[in-house]
Amino acid sequence: MISGHGSNASSQGDAQALDYRANIDLIDAAKAANVQHFVFISVLGADRGYEDAPVFKAKWAVEQYLQSSGLNYTILRPSGFASNLLPLAEQFRQTGIYLLIGDPRTRTSIVSTDDLARIAVESVSTPDARNQTLAVGGPEILLRSEIPQIFGRIFRREPIVINPPLMALDGVRSLLGFVNPSAQKSLGTLRTLLSNEFFCAPSEIAALESLFNFKLETLESYLRRNLSV
C-alpha cells in the first residue's frame, strides 16, 4: 500500500483529518488486511518539531505510528515537488514574472515528482528499502533565487522577480485569524516551507541513487520534459 494523499487548499479536509487520521485508519486497515509493505509519503523536515505547521506535525505522528505498527514500511521524506512549479512556469511563460516570498538565499533540493513516484513503487521490491526512512530530494541543492533563473533559461526571457518579505505573509495570516482561523492555521505549513531550508545532503542523494539504481533528475530537465520545451 502506498499512501500519497494529503491536504491542500482545495481538499475537503484539513491536516488533522487527511494527513493524520486518514493515514492512521489506513495503517490499521493495512494491518487487518495483512498488507505486506506500507509506503508512506511524509515530508522532509517532519522530524524537526515545527510546532506551527499542522502537516509536518501530522506526518511526524504518522511516521511514529507506522514504525511501531509491525508492518514492513518505507517512509519517504521528499523535499518540494517539481510538479508544484509547473503552473508557476506557465505563468512565467506568459508574463516573465516570478513571485518569491521570503529569503531568496534559502536552499532547496526540489525533487522530480516522477522520480519520487518511481521510488515509492520500487520501495516495495527493494529489500534494502524495507523499514527505512529516506530523505528524497533532487540531485542539486538550489538557492530559491535560482528557480526564476531556470525559468528564464527555459523560456529565454529575463525574469522579473517580485520578492515580498515573509512579513507580508504574516500580515495576511494575522488578518485571516479574525475571519477564518482554520485557514490561518493551514498557512502555518506554508510559512514553515517558506522560512526554512529543505534540501538533501549529497551523501543522501548518492545513497538513494545507489539504493534504487538510477540517476535522479534535475529540476531543469523535469521542467523541460513536462513543458515540452
Ligand X SMILES: NC(=O)c1ccc[n+]([C@@H]2O[C@H](COP(=O)([O-])OP(=O)(O)OC[C@H]3O[C@@H](n4cnc5c(N)ncnc54)[C@H](OP(=O)(O)O)[C@@H]3O)[C@@H](O)[C@H]2O)c1
| Beta-carbon count within 10 A of 9 CB | 8
> H-type helices in 68-165, by residue range?
85-95, 113-123, 146-155
Q: Is 219 in the site for ligand X (CB under 6 A)?
A: no
How far is it, in rounded angstroms, from Cα 57 to Cα 63?
A: 10
How far is it, in rounded angstroms, from Cα 101 to Cα 103?
A: 7
How far is it, in rounded angstroms, from Cα 79 to Cα 127?
A: 23
> Nearest 5°: phi and psi at 194?
-80, -20
Count of residues that bind ligand X according to CB under 6 A: 15
Q: Is 11 in the site for ligand X (CB under 6 A)?
A: yes
Instruction: Indicate the residue whose CB is closest to ligand X.
Output: 6
Q: Is 26 in the site for ligand X (CB under 6 A)?
A: no
Least distance CB 81 / ligand X (angstroms) = 4
Candidate segments 67-75, 76-84, 156-164, 214-222, binder of ligand X by CB under 6 A: 76-84
Q: Is 80 in the site for ligand X (CB under 6 A)?
A: yes
Q: Is 120 in the site for ligand X (CB under 6 A)?
A: no
Rg (CA), the chain: 18
Site for ligand X in 45-74 (CB under 6 A): 55
Q: Is 13 in the site for ligand X (CB under 6 A)?
A: yes
Residue 61 C-alpha cell reads as 505522528
Which residues are at the interface with ligand X (CB under 6 A)?
A: 4-6, 8, 11-13, 18, 41, 43, 55, 78, 80-81, 84
